[in-house]
Copies of this chain bind each other. A is one copy, B any other.
Amino acid sequence: MLTEERHQIILEQLKVHNIVKLHDLIPLTGASESTLRRDLQDLENCHKLLRIHGGAQNVISLHEEPALSQKASIHLDEKKAIGRVAASQVRNQEVIFLDSGSTIQFMIPYLIEHKNLLVITNSVDNASMLADYDIETFLPGGKLKSSTKALVGSTMVQTLETYHFDKCFLGTNGFSIESGYTTPDPEESSIKQLAIKQSNQTFILSDSSKYCQVSFSKFADLKDATLITNELPVKESVLLNKETKVMEVN
């Protein structure tokens, strides 16, 4: 059995069981304990799995989103800068859609500079913050998704279809040249797609850590939106620029 074959078996087991014991791999591969330990180490080095005592664990499945609180605390300064630039794209009297997502939230403090704004959002957290800043806000109805505190579902879709936005601002869980913009939850994905359709202009906010990340459900091509992000690796930036509008934040 080749090394590659064993690696494949291990990853396959992980896909199915989320956790795999080292001793269970011995009969499955016919290899010795030592060899399998080395395999696990190799796979951990390229972030394909996480070793735990007695075996290995999936690094994080595509469907599982990290909890909002953990996600929110990292990349704080970048997000503030991105939020400031995004807010600067808004004009007085406009109607804008704000997606759920921690990065979007950083726009809100900068929005008070604009007068007579009307904000539509599907995020309960955003709504609460918008109320604190006394910005006129409307929530379309929907089912509350507890993990992200976003509203989703058919009611939301039906409502959005009757609206039209000057601009919409969306978050993303990943973007890449091949796969475009992606997010784990198909339901949230279709809300994003609809928001884009109903908007004159689309902005997607993302810190550069999301680059080359691919999640389950694609909601837009790179060319469909203006990406607002902090600096990307130089050569990648060139590549991206052929496909889409990018605003880099310093």
Contact = CB atoms under 8 A, between A and B. Distances in A.
A132 B146 contact: yes
Interface residues of A, number: 38
A128 B149 contact: yes
A142 interface: yes
A147 B132 CA distance: 8
Contact of A2 (B3, B55, B138): B55
Contacts of A147: 131
Given A2-B54, A4-B19, A19-B2, A140 B141 contact: yes
- Residue among A54, A57, A132, A137 with most chain B CB within 10 A: A137
B124 A131 contact: yes
A52 B141 contact: no
A4 B57 contact: yes
A141 B128 contact: no
B134 A138 contact: no
A119 B164 CA distance: 29
A149 B126 CA distance: 11
Contacts of A136: 143-144
Nearest to A147: B131
Interface string A50-94: 001111010000000000000000000000000000000000000
A130 to B, nearest CB: 7
A236 interface: no
Contacts of A191: none
A136 B151 CA distance: 12
Interface of A: 2-5, 8, 18-19, 21, 52-55, 57, 124-125, 127-128, 130-132, 134-147, 149, 151, 155, 159
Given A124-B127, A139-B139, A141-B142, 16 more contacts: A2-B21, A8-B19, A127-B144, A130-B144, A131-B144, A131-B149, A132-B146, A134-B146, A137-B143, A137-B144, A138-B144, A139-B141, A139-B144, A141-B141, A141-B155, A141-B159
29 contacts: A2-B21, A2-B53, A2-B55, A3-B53, A4-B19, A5-B19, A8-B18, A124-B127, A124-B131, A124-B139, A127-B149, A128-B149, A130-B144, A130-B146, A131-B145, A131-B146, A131-B147, A131-B149, A134-B146, A135-B146, A136-B144, A137-B144, A138-B141, A138-B155, A139-B139, A139-B141, A140-B141, A141-B155, A141-B159
